[in-house]
Amino acid sequence: MSGTYSSKNQSMSRKAVLRRRLQNITIIIISLTAFILFWWGLAILLDLQYLPPPDEVFDAFIKSFTTPDPNIGTTMDQNIVASFQRFIQGFALAFVVALPLGLLMGFVPWVDTFSRPIVEIFRPIPPIAWVPFFFVAFGAFWNPVLTVFIGVFFPLLTNVILGVRSVDESLLDAARTQGAGRVLLFSKVILPFSIPYLMTGVTIGMGVGWMCIVAAEWFGAIGGGVGYYILVQENVGMYPNMFAGIAVVAILGLLTVSLSGYLEKIIRRRMGMS
């Protein structure tokens, strides 16, 4: 009897969850439709060349993938690959610097005392502010990579430090009573505990990274890039193409942030920290 009641409850619970998800999806569709209709109405009402209606942007979006742009000579997928390459490079660079530094700053007090003033000086500076300098100092290849690096570095660093400092004391005590020294404490307790916090930093960094890459590519980019595409289209007055480029950036940002957020949830759940 109680078993039947329990499975019936589970079934009702699953149905409720499914209904909620369908409701949410419906609301999202309505919201996006309303946005597009508003945009369309505004474009028709204002009739401005630099505010094209959604259908022109959509056409430009499709065409950008099938036909090389006459100004740059690349298709949108080539631009995406170029931007993504720089994004990965900047992200990887931030990762290999922020992870060990964050672990050290969280675990070794004098390292934190030494590094923190420098970190706090540079943290408030918007990554985009560095673009003109990076372009002149490091050239068109490293400029967007370093800009992404700066943008991703600080969220990663902050969250790794937080992760190290958030380790449950009881876990550390338990490890110590089992005879664990500093090295084992770090490798077996602190480092694994920091991973979910690191993933939070990754998720935040992803969004910041895309903002950085678009701005950095405005100063020039090797092999094209979505940011450079947007700039060129604005320069020559092809606004449907410009908005298509903006839409691509939005989609890429959404995909990468969502993927990172999903991985973070999985990791947190598996490590019992959700």
Partner 1 sequence: MEKKTTQLLAVAVVAIVVIAAVAIIFWPDGDGEEKTLYWTPVPPKDQQANFVSGAIDAGVSWEPYCSDSILAGDAHVLKWSGDIWPNHPCCVLAVKTSYLSSNPDLVARMTRAHIEADLWVVDALAHPDGANYTLLMQIGATFSGRSTDVVAAASEHIGFSYGLSSEVIDYLEEFTQMFIDLNQTSLGSYASVEDFVSNLLDTSVIDEAMAVQPSETILGTVNLGFLAGDLHQFARVVAMNSTAGGGETFYEKFGLNVIAVNPAGYVNGPAVMDAFAAGVIDVGYLGAPPAILKKLNVGTDIKVVALANTEGSAILAVDGIGSFNDLNNKTVATPGPGSIQHLLFLVYAKEQGFTVKLKGT
Q: How far is the CB of 220 from partner 1 (least distance, A)?
A: 4
- If one asks whether residue 192 binds partner 1 (CB under 8 A), the answer comes out as yes
Q: Which stretch binds partner 1 (CB under 8 A): 6-14, 53-61, 89-97, 116-124?
A: 89-97
Q: In this chain, which of 119, 246, 247, 267 binds partner 1, going by CB under 8 A?
A: 267
State how far the alpha carbon of 183 is from the alpha carbons of 47, 83, 116, 176, 213, in Å.
67, 40, 23, 11, 38
CA dist., res. 252 & res. 81, Å (int)? 11
Q: How far is the CB of 127 from partner 1 (least distance, A)?
A: 18
CA dist., res. 235 & res. 262, Å (int)? 38
Query: 93-122 mask for partner 1 (x: CB under 8 A)?
Result: x-xx--------------------------
Nearest to 156 by CA among 121, 198, 207, 101: 198
CA dist., res. 207 & res. 115, Å (int)? 25
Q: For 123-221, where are the alpha helices, taking DSSP H only?
A: 131-165, 169-177, 182-184, 191-217
8: left (phi over 0), alpha (psi -120 to 50) or beta: alpha
- If one asks whether residue 89 binds partner 1 (CB under 8 A), the answer comes out as yes
Q: Which stretch binds partner 1 (CB under 8 A): 24-32, 153-161, 168-176, 262-270?
A: 262-270
123, 128, 130, 135: CA torsion to nearest 10: 150
Q: Are 148 and 95 in contact (CB under 8 A)?
A: no
Q: With CB under 8 A, what is the number of residues at the site for partner 1?
A: 42
Query: 32-51 mask for partner 1 (x: CB under 8 A)?
Result: -----------------xx-
- If one asks whether residue 158 binds partner 1 (CB under 8 A), the answer comes out as no
- If one asks whether residue 73 binds partner 1 (CB under 8 A), the answer comes out as yes
165, 169, 173, 174: CA torsion to nearest 10: -110
Q: Which stretch binds partner 1 (CB under 8 A): 53-61, 107-115, 178-186, 261-269?
A: 261-269
189, 190, 192, 195: CA torsion to nearest 10: 160
Query: 194-233 mask for partner 1 (x: CB under 8 A)?
Result: -x-----------------------xxxxxx---x---x-
106 or 227: CB nearest partner 1: 227
Q: How far is the CB of 96 from partner 1 (least distance, A)?
A: 7
Q: Are 141 and 226 in contact (CB under 8 A)?
A: no
89 or 166: CB nearest partner 1: 89
Q: Which stretches of the chain bind partner 1, using CB under 8 A?
A: 49-50, 70-74, 78, 82, 85, 88-89, 91-93, 95-96, 135-136, 139-140, 192, 195, 219-224, 228, 232, 234-239, 263, 266-267, 270-271
